[in-house]
Chains A and B, each alone.
Chain A
Amino acid sequence: MDIFLQQIINGLVLGSIYALVALGYTMVYGILGLINFAHGDIVMIGAMVALAIFHPLAASGIPAPVILLLALTASIAICVTLGMSIERIAYRPLRRAPRLAPLITAIGVSILIQYTAALIWGKQYISLPPLFKTTQLTIGGAHLTDLQAVIFLLACTVMGGLYWFVTRTRMGAAMRATEQNPDVAGLMGININFIISLTFVIGSGLAAVAGLMVVLYYGIGHYYMGFILGLKAFTAAVLGGIGNVTGAMLGGLLLGVIESLASGYIGDLTGGVFGSNYRDVFAFLVLVLVLIFRPSGLMGQPSAERA
């Protein structure tokens, strides 16, 4: 039972990070109908920028919270600039092109970002320098570090803020209108280009936060880390119902828990035939199962294809 609770806690913490990334996929998909393959790599850039700040400052004697705040600001600034430029340069000119075109550009951008990162930071794993000590809390026999708690709470706060923004503000209403029908929204006086840019800004900002969290959680960064993370976050978005903001949050948390439980128990269940080295397979399995049985996801409405 303790192991069960432990896996649930681990899953929720991990899932809150997936959820932040999934939001970026789902918002862009909702508005442009495009899978932004480069989104996972933006998370990677956020993580690498944070590491680049940590390394020279870790031993400088500056208090850890200041360094963290500095890293967060730098990550967000760089990721947001990157996200906006990608939309401007690679996606906007193709908005009216055949469907395949922006998908191919997206995968091209993803590769460009990965190998630019490899060029800047090298291809080796970069580990997190010791910044602070974590303390363990115990809840009903399961362990939780204060770092995990902070990650989870911060992710939930950010998501709450986003939910408020999308549902309660004028700007959020403009976003929802654009999502429903960009042409009509444009006729109603909404600046479509601005809203799309804003979507990329918000998505990339969330990606930067998630990148910092991944670094703190796993203690490691790598130029290729965005790929599998992106795949999982996309799965979370599909699980929740792609295009649906609440769905992405729920899907992320759920996927984190599923993955934790599955990789925690698969060894016992299969008598050791499959081990936790198959961990990355579960997200994919979930994706395929959702697409077979409920392609609209948990919270999405079935949508017909429009001409």
Chain B
Amino acid sequence: MSGLKNASLAARLFGYAALAVVLLVLPFVVEPLLGRAWVRIIDIALLFVLLALGLNIVVGFAGLLDLGYVAFFAVGAYLYALLASPHFGIHWPFFLLLPMGAALACLFGVLLGAPTLRLRGDYLAIVTLGFGEIIRIFLNNLNRPVNITNGPLGITLIEPIRFGDFSLSQQHTLAGLTFAPVHSYYYVFLACVVLAIVVSLRLEDSRIGRAWIAIREDEIAAKAMGIHTRNVKLLAFAMGASFGGVSGGLFAAFQGFVSPESFALLDSIMILCMVVLGGMGHVPGVVLGAILLTALPEALRYVGPLQQAWFGRVLIDPSDLRMLLFGLALVLMMLFRPAGLWPSRVRKREFAE
């Protein structure tokens, strides 16, 4: 019996080790095969994994519908952009700005959640929906009378992540391998994602995580069991927001440019789709969902020329097609497979009732 246990443990350890090796060499395998553009796509996918993991805490664990999650992403990105660019002439380092982004996003989360979370969950959905739109109005218009956000033009020349003199935006050579910026950022993002996964998994099994799940299942029963539902929900909301803030900062450093356009409602919906499609509340499922949905637009890019070839003209713009598919996916998933593509066992049981 114990031999069997050891064998399965060894197999699992071996699996993790293999996965780690694959992840470590991934950019250097992908680049010669598919080109550098795909390394960039993988970087973006990792950022979305981070966002999806954050939203998963809110939607998946605590069962609160946040429809303006991208607003927290925007808060983190703009904080980084404003305090590490020539726009104000402030050049703070990333290890200060990323935690600050997390804290500020967290603060916004609390400000937004405090009035709404003591009410029924549905109000949160509409308030976050509005907040996502409002923040964009402010980003677009806060360029006068004092130019804070530079309006629709956005902020350029944002500084990269830098360790002393070692800047991630430059090419480096190490042990015969050339590290382009996309490679260096890959490892930074990967480290963040691994950290986020560990935090998510530990949270899920913690006292707080169990309280979240209890609230998701039955709020009144949870309250009766002595859980301070409002505070615990607020904690979930704020913690999810802080994940968004961090990934916003990383995004700003990676792109070197932010503008209000990157933070539209559609992006919130896309992140929600990742969580729902993958499996709400199940960390591996959410990671899968994020990777699938980042790759999807790249695949849809071929749809335009295909339509051209078949019908002689482009009938559906690929980006519209993507939104139609997202909408359809949300409806169909809820109707036919509400627990997601890769659900956790608990969640599957619950929806099967």
Contacts and interface: CB of A to CB of B under 8 A. Distances in A.
B120 A305 contact: yes
Given A291-B119, A292-B115, A93 B320 contact: no
Contact of B115 (A90, A111, A277, A291): A291
Interface stretch (B1-9, B59-67, B69-77, B89-97): B59-67
A231 B129 contact: yes
A200 to B, nearest CB: 16
Looking at B120, B221, B334, B351, the one whose CB has the most chain A CB atoms below 10 A away is B334
A211 B138 CA distance: 28
Contacts of A97: 334, 338, 351
A104 B119 contact: no
A252 B16 CA distance: 58
B241 to A, nearest CB: 16
Interface stretch (B181-189, B191-199, B284-292, B324-332): B324-332
A202 B335 CA distance: 25
Given A100-B59, A104-B65, A111 B126 contact: no
B236 interface: no
Given A291-B123, A305-B219, A272 B145 contact: yes
A100 B63 contact: yes
Given A108-B327, A119-B316, A99 B121 contact: yes
A119 B351 CA distance: 35
B150 interface: no
Contacts of B59: 100
Contacts of B63: 98-100
Contacts of B121: 99-100
A103 B125 contact: yes
B351 A98 contact: yes
Interface in A78-128: 90, 93-94, 97-105, 107-112, 114-116, 118-119
B269 A111 contact: yes
B330 A111 contact: yes
B11 interface: no
Interface stretch (A15-23, A138-146, A180-188, A280-288): A280-288
A109 B329 CA distance: 10
Contact of B320 (A118, A275, A278, A281): A118
A100 B65 contact: yes
B272 interface: yes
Given A104-B276, A108-B329, A307-B218, A291 B127 contact: yes
Given A93-B335, A105-B331, A307-B218, A231 B316 contact: no
By secondary structure, the A interface counts as: helix
Interface string B304-338: 00000000000010001001101111110111001
Contact of A103 (B122, B265, B320, B335): B122
A115 B334 contact: no
Nearest to B332: A108
Contacts of B344: none
Interface in B43-70: 59, 63, 65, 67
A110 B327 CA distance: 8
A105 B130 contact: no
A118 B324 CA distance: 10
Contacts of A1: none
Given A93-B335, A99-B121, A231 B141 contact: no
Nearest to B265: A227
A61 B59 CA distance: 55
B212 interface: no
By secondary structure, the B interface counts as: helix
A137 interface: no
A104 B272 contact: yes
Nearest to B131: A284
B85 interface: no
Contacts of B327: 108-112, 114-115
B37 interface: no
Looking at B130, B220, B265, B350, the one whose CB has the most chain A CB atoms below 10 A away is B130
A150 interface: no
A298 B350 CA distance: 38
Interface string A269-307: 000110101101101100110011001000000000101
Nearest to A116: B324
A111 B323 contact: yes
B137 interface: yes
B133 interface: yes
B116 interface: yes
A303 to B, nearest CB: 9
Looking at A33, A34, A90, A283, the one whose CB has the most chain B CB atoms below 10 A away is A90
Looking at B121, B123, B133, B329, the one whose CB has the most chain A CB atoms below 10 A away is B123
Contacts of B65: 100, 103-104
B17 interface: no
Looking at A93, A235, A284, the one whose CB has the most chain B CB atoms below 10 A away is A284
Contacts of A37: 129
B18 interface: no
B134 interface: yes
B320 A90 contact: no
Interface in B136-195: 137-138, 141, 145
Contact of B324 (A115, A273, A277, A288): A115
Given A100-B63, A107-B269, A108-B331, A115 B120 contact: no
A112 B116 contact: no
A119 B307 CA distance: 15
A307 B220 contact: yes
9 contacts: A33-B122, A90-B335, A99-B63, A100-B280, A103-B125, A109-B327, A234-B126, A283-B130, A295-B119
Given A93-B335, A281-B137, 20 more contacts: A35-B122, A90-B331, A94-B334, A98-B338, A98-B350, A98-B351, A104-B65, A105-B330, A105-B331, A105-B335, A107-B330, A119-B320, A227-B265, A272-B145, A277-B137, A283-B130, A291-B115, A291-B116, A305-B120, A305-B219
